[in-house]
Amino acid sequence: MLKAYATFAQIQHDLHSKKITCTALVKHYLANIESKKHLNVFLSVYADEALARAAVIDEKINRGNAGKLAGLVVGLKDVLCYENHPLQASSKILDGFVSQFNATAVQRLLDADAIIIGRQNCDEFAMGSSNENSAFGPTLNDIDNTRVPGGSSGGSAVAVMADMCQVSLGSDTGGSVRQPAAFCGIVGLKPTYSRISRHGLIAYGSSFDCIGIFSKNIEDAALVLEVIAGADEYDSTVSQTPVPAFSSLLSAASEKKYRIAYMRDTLQSPALQPEIKTAIEKSLDQLKLDGHSVAGIEFPLNEYVLPTYYILATAEASSNLSRYDGVRYGYRSPNTTDLESMYKKTRAEGFGKEVQRRILLGTYVLSASYYDAYYNQAQKVRRLIREKLKELLKEYDFIITPTTPTTAFKLGEHSTNPVEMYLADLFSVQANVAGLPAISLPLGTDKIGLPMGVQVMADDFEETKLFHFSKQLMNLA
């Protein structure tokens, strides 16, 4: 029986000193997956394949030609394409669909000798904050099985939390990596928009969508980002900005002092759970003691962030999800009589309620009579939000907020009121609206032992700085 590894560096150390093998490691994760099946984390487990690949990589390690990520076992949210493997965004509408290609991020993981262990449950089409909107049923939080793990990448967060893999790749459109990371007490990174190619990521809101990384520590996130980020011929919107060697930059210890801002109104929000407020304030005090400058700032545009997000993301989603029409692949309703009924029944039966709600909302805001009032207006507000945040980030290195207003809530607690559910993304959405990199870091637990999270946001492409500071922040506690 292997122990749970806190860092990938320890895994590599033990692999190279022959204490363990990839095969043993994969078996260890498979055993955890099996013993915690009730959490409903994995939609597919690629046990035989992962073991076969582990044997190949063990051989490479013996020969000394193994890749950078040899021994890293990764799980994929069910929105990432993995060639010849099922892919369905936790939706009935993609029943039976098998991807014919690898997402660029997945290809780069494989090229670096990582092992893919399975496909992880999530909210349907990444729409949700609790993982309850899955055609495969909810994923449960490992700390308290009556509670949600957050969403939409709930399965990916629980997998890392419960040691079913070392790292998961999720997607973050409005907080879908950071929010579940906070609920599960792990690290969740959403890099700068366009840092990682979206080729092979099922689209929700294209101008917000970001592949994100779940890990147990900063170093693992930095290493994985370094491998999967960067220019890609298949995505014309991906950034051409060079990708620094995050992991080696991070190994050089930094005691640099930073200028830190926190948003006053987020801490004074009545929606904020008091223990989270206390924990953040405590961190801020410690940072001050450590020699960083800490300032409270106002951000009057905050109240527009969530509406802006829900207008623009759903507008894009309504169009992005048009391809699921029952014509070429996936689910087609058996009860159709003509073309129109095929569309209507296929989509009514194939999509869940939340997805339908967002498609309808997005269709509405794009319709000719409302386009200017909603879509156009929201685009302008989005630009303002980004400009304002960029201005602030000239003055400050980082902006700190809670990741979520509360710790993990009960299953079914917000199921009847979608707006209540949307508030779970209140603090995380900002980074997506502005395209900025942000990370959620574990911040202890509340009085009933549920994990809390703190979010740090930086300027575009400042991930190196973000990692350095995150390490300092994690070392405070």
Partner 1 sequence: MDKRIQEKYEIVVGLEVHAQLLTKTKIYNSDAATFGGEANTHVGVITLAHPGTLPKLNKVVVEQAIKMGLACHSEISRHQVFDRKNYFYPDLPKGYQLTQDRTPICVGGHITIKTKVGNERKIELNRIHIEEDAGKSIHLEGQVDTLLDFNRAGVALIEIVTNPVIHTPEEAGAVFAEIRKLVRSLGICDGNMEEGSLRCDANVSVRLKGANALGKKVEIKNMNSVRNVQRAVIHEAERQIALLEKGEVIVSETRTFNADTGKTYGMRTKEELNDYRYFPDPDLSPLFVSEEWLQKIQAEMPILPQQMFEKFVTVYGLPKYDAHVLTESKELAFYFESVAQLTNRFKSISNWLMGPVKSYLNEVGKEIDQVGLRPDSLQKLIDLVESGKVSFAVAAQFVFPEVLKSSVEPLVIAQRLNLIQDSNADAILPVIKEVIKEFPLKVEEYKNGKKGIVAMFMGEVMKRTKGKADPKLANELLTNELSKINI
For residue 176, indicate whether it is catalytic.
yes
Widest CA span in the chain: 71
Nearer to partner 1, 331 or 469 (CB): 331
- From the candidates 99, 130, 176, 239, which is the catalytic residue? 176
Angstrom distance (rounded) from CA 180 to CA 40? 15
**Shortest Cβ distance from residue 78 to partner 1 (Å)?**
10
**Shortest Cβ distance from residue 365 to partner 1 (Å)?**
9
Nearer to partner 1, 286 or 363 (CB): 363
For residue 471, indicate whether it is catalytic.
no
**Shortest Cβ distance from residue 464 to partner 1 (Å)?**
25
Q: What angle do CA 244, 250, 252 make, to 5 degrees?
A: 115
**Shortest Cβ distance from residue 260 to partner 1 (Å)?**
32
- Phi then psi for residue 440, to 5 deg, are -105, 130
H-state helical runs in 113-211: 154-161, 178-184
H-state helical runs in 128-245: 154-161, 178-184, 218-228
For residue 156, indicate whether it is catalytic.
no
- Residue 145's alpha-carbon distances to 40, 322, 411, in angstroms, are 11, 35, 9
Helix (H) or strand (E) run with residue 267 in it? helix 264-268
The first and second tokens of residue 347, run together, are 């989509």
Which residues of this chain interact with partner 1, rule CB under 8 A?
79-81, 87, 89, 94, 97, 99-101, 103, 198-203, 206-207, 233-237, 315-316, 318-319, 321-323, 325, 327-329, 339, 343, 363, 366-368, 371, 375
**Shortest Cβ distance from residue 33 to partner 1 (Å)?**
25
**Shortest Cβ distance from residue 366 to partner 1 (Å)?**
4
Distance of alpha carbon 191 from its chain centroid, rounded?
Answer: 10
Angstrom distance (rounded) from CA 153 to CA 150? 7
Cα Rg of the chain (Å, integer) = 21
**Shortest Cβ distance from residue 229 to partner 1 (Å)?**
16
Q: Which residues contact 331 (CB under 8 A, 6 or more apart)?
A: 92, 93, 94, 95, 96, 346, 349, 350
Nearer to partner 1, 106 or 218 (CB): 106
The first and second tokens of residue 469, run together, are 């500071």
DSSP track, 182-195 = HHHTSEEEE--TTS
Angstrom distance (rounded) from CA 255 to CA 471? 10
Angstrom distance (rounded) from CA 319 to CA 301? 27
Nearer to partner 1, 304 or 343 (CB): 343
CB atoms within 10 A of CB 333: 16
Nearer to partner 1, 81 or 161 (CB): 81
Q: Is the torsion defined by CA of 360, 432, 123, 425 positive or negative?
A: negative
Nearer to partner 1, 48 or 372 (CB): 372
Nearer to partner 1, 21 or 194 (CB): 194
Catalytic sites, residue numbers: 77, 152, 176
